[in-house]
Amino acid sequence: MTLRLYDLAGAEPDRRFSPYCWRIRMALAHKQLAVETIPWRFTEKAEIAASGQKLVPVLVDDELWVADSWTIANYLEDTYVDTPSLFGGIAARRLTRHYSSLADGLVGAIFPFIALDILHRVAEKDRAYFRESREKRVGMSLESFVADRDSKLPAFRASLTPLRQTLKAQPFLGGDEPLYADYAVFGPFQWARCISPFGLFEDDDPVKQWRGRMLDCFDGLARKAVAYDT
């Protein structure tokens, strides 16, 4: 039985842009597990009701529904024990939890740059939902929210200093090879490039170079995705 993954899609079914789904796409590849991805839209809550909640990623393994990226990653690690470890041991798994939190923080930090680009690329039927839910969250129109994005770029780039410092010292967060920590943090950057032409990086940024190494993983899984060349 092939694994199935509900995967957020835009207007085009093959524009897959969830930062949380990308973590799991990469994790599945790391675990050498084939997956059938099912394009899913924000408003298709009924399709994933069996998961007991309303957000993707949702993994379906035979009859079992698993939601939440951290839960899915742990499920894969504990279920498919004969393929490469996502974490690298007991302590490493616990240390990886914070990378998941850092990645969530990155989603928040990147959103002010791409919020309106997302609106323009989600499926027609998702547009009103996306605008209403996100405008409620940020307390203003998406147009106002992104209006001064260029002025926010230096502070965003400065906020990447710790990541930059680490990635100058070693090729991946996991060391010489990527681990789930890398996939978690890569998710928000892949989200951005799949949905927005806005350039977040300076060309010589070591974080961008690491992103390039991530795009090359698994025979270019993430590089081959429908995305912008940012």
Contacts of residue 138, Cβ cutoff 8 Å, sequence gap at least 6: 111, 115, 145
How many whole angstroms separate alpha carbon 50 and alpha carbon 54?
Answer: 10
The residues with which 37 forms a beta bridge, in sequence order, are 5
Q: Which is nearer to a second copy, 60 or 72 (CB)?
A: 72
Residue 94 binding a second copy, by CB under 8 A? yes
Q: Which is nearer to a second copy, 163 or 225 (CB)?
A: 163
- In the complex, the smallest distance separating the C-beta of residue 155 from a second copy, rounded to whole angstroms, is 10
Strand-pair category, 64-67 with 58-61 = antiparallel
Residue 138 binding a second copy, by CB under 8 A? no
Neighbours of 141 (CB within 10 A): 14
Residue 98 binding a second copy, by CB under 8 A? yes
Q: Which of 161, 197, 202, 228 binds a second copy (CB under 8 A)?
A: 161
How many whole angstroms separate alpha carbon 126 and alpha carbon 119?
Answer: 9
Contacts of residue 131, Cβ cutoff 8 Å, sequence gap at least 6: 119, 142
Residue 184 binding a second copy, by CB under 8 A? no
Residue 169 binding a second copy, by CB under 8 A? yes
Q: Which is nearer to a second copy, 32 or 71 (CB)?
A: 71
Residue 99 binding a second copy, by CB under 8 A? yes
Q: Which residues bind a second copy (CB under 8 A)?
A: 85, 87-92, 94-102, 104-105, 108, 161-163, 165-166, 169-170, 173-176, 179, 181
